[in-house]
Amino acid sequence: MQALKDGNGKIKRGWLIGGGIVLVAVIIIVAVMMMPKHLSGKYSHTSTFLLSKSTDTLKFDGDKVTEYSDGEKIHTGTYTLKKDDLDMKISGYHMHATLADDKKSFVINSADGLANLASGYKYSQSSN
């Protein structure tokens, strides 16, 4: 312990600076490691067309996504999440969405084929 102190009994400046740098590095590494790499839970969007109302729900679990229409399972697929870019492949369709900063919603930006009708739809995290 004496090697850390100078002649006046105070901790050497170099050790303080080095310790501070190590502490900041550890905090950054822990924060990055704790950031979610996957979504979890259900995100839903409700559409109304004429007199009919339909709810589309995407359930995320690990790297898998399952689509439900009015509570009935209709498609399964996978997804990747890089920062706020959400890319999904569901039953042969590729969809791209942007995740909100709070990760409680996302907006479909584009999709292949008929799935492109969902462009602009906002899916919000649901509790059930």
DSSP conformation letters of 50-102: TTEEEEEEEEEETTEEEEEETTEEEEEEEEEEETTEEEEEETTEEEEEEE-TT
Mean pLDDT of 53-82: 92
Segment 24-46 shows an average pLDDT of: 81
Q: Using CA atoms, how far apart are residues 104 and 91, in angstroms rounded to an integer?
A: 24
Structure tokens at 7: 């002649």
Instruction: Report DSSP state, residue 11.
Output: B
**In the chain, % of residues over pLDDT 70:** 89
pLDDT digits 0-9 by tens, 66-77: 999 988 999 999
What residue type is assigned to position 1 of the chain?
M
Q: Which CATH number fits domain 41-126: 1.20.120, 3.30.160, 2.40.50, 2.40.128?
A: 2.40.128
- Each domain of the chain, given as residue ranges in start order, spans 2-34, 41-126
Bridge partners (DSSP) of residue 42 are 59, 126
Contact 38, 81 (CB under 8 A): yes
State how far the Cα of 72 lies from the Cα of 51, in Å rounded to an integer: 20
Strand partners, 88: 79, 95
